Structure formats: structure tokens, C-alpha cells
């Protein structure tokens, strides 16, 4: 099982700032709800992503999944934390699809949800997606 990351305050703030910067590049002409994400790989590299909307809404891409895709395309498969920033008054958690994608790589990943004014909440992914579907279930197919 993947290990949970120890993220000290400096690392958390750095991830939040990277997510905030990524948010500035979001393409959200329909919802105007811009989101940025910063994914921490086990080797210390940070991969960012932003949401990219589409007129056919189902084709829109979330910031978290964009960060994962970018990291995987660069050969990374082990992640310890992700920060999400939407510029809202309260922290915003990842959608269900993003939770499932994150769990594929580390169901115990630390999820840092940041809001305007510097407040944030950090929780383990397993608290956001209890009893997630994964490799274990695939081994039990009949």
C-alpha cells in the first residue's frame, strides 16, 4: 500500500501557491469557476493542472486529472499529496471522478483544499473516498 506523505507547513504552502498559479491559466469561459491543482510526486517534483472547459460540458477536464495526466506523461506514478485551489471563500474538494483517479495512484494521498485568505484543510484521500474501487477489486473478478 502506498504511504501517506508527511507534508510540513512549508511544503503545504508551496503546493498551494503552485495550485493558485495554475488556476490563473484555467480555461473556464462557461462556468467562470477556475481551479488549479498541484500534485506532489514521491521524488519531490510538482505537477500542476488547471480545469479546461468545453462547450460540450462532458468533455471538460478537471484540474486534478490534468495534473495527474501531466505527471504520468512525464513517467511518474507515485504521488503523496495534491493541493487544490479555486479562489473560493471555503475550500473546495475534488469531484468524485478526480477522487477515484487519485486513489488509483495512492488511496492514502494527502488532499489539501485551499481557499482565499490562506485557509486550508488537509485530509487523507481515504476520508474523501472511503472503500474506493481499485486493483484489489480487479483481482477478485469472476
- How far is it, in rounded angstroms, from Cα 73 to Cα 23? 20
In the three-class reduction of DSSP (H, G, I as helix; E, B as strand; rest coil), residue 130 is classed as coil
- Residues facing residue 27 across a β-bridge: 52
Distances (CA, A) of 122 to 31, 55, 93, 129: 26, 33, 10, 14
- How far is it, in rounded angstroms, from Cα 66 to Cα 69? 5
Which one from 53, 64, 104, 126 is the annotated catalytic residue?
64
21 in catalytic set: no
- How far is it, in rounded angstroms, from Cα 113 to Cα 43? 22
> Can you read off the three cell numbers belonging to residue 59?
468533455
76 neighbors 41 (Cβ within 8 angstroms): yes
Please identify every residue annotated as catalytic: 64
Amino acid at each position: 500500500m502506498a504511504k501517506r506523505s508527511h507534508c510540513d507547513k512549508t511544503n503545504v504552502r508551496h503546493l498551494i501557491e503552485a495550485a493558485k498559479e495554475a488556476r490563473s491559466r484555467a480555461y473556464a469561459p462557461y462556468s467562470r469557476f477556475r481551479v488549479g491543482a498541484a500534485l506532489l510526486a514521491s521524488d519531490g517534483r510538482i505537477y500542476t493542472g488547471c480545469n479546461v472547459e468545453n462547450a460540450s460540458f462532458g468533455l471538460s477536464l478537471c484540474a486534478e486529472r490534468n495534473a495527474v495526466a501531466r505527471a504520468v506523461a512525464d513517467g511518474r506514478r507515485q504521488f503523496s499529496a495534491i493541493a487544490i485551489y479555486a479562489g473560493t471563500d471555503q475550500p473546495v474538494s475534488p469531484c468524485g471522478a478526480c477522487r477515484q483517479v487519485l486513489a488509483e495512484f495512492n488511496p492514502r494521498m494527502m488532499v489539501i483544499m485551499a481557499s482565499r485568505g490562506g485557509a486550508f484543510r488537509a485530509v487523507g484521500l481515504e476520508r474523501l473516498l472511503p472503500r474506493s474501487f481499485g486493483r484489489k477489486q480487479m483481482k477478485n473478478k469472476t
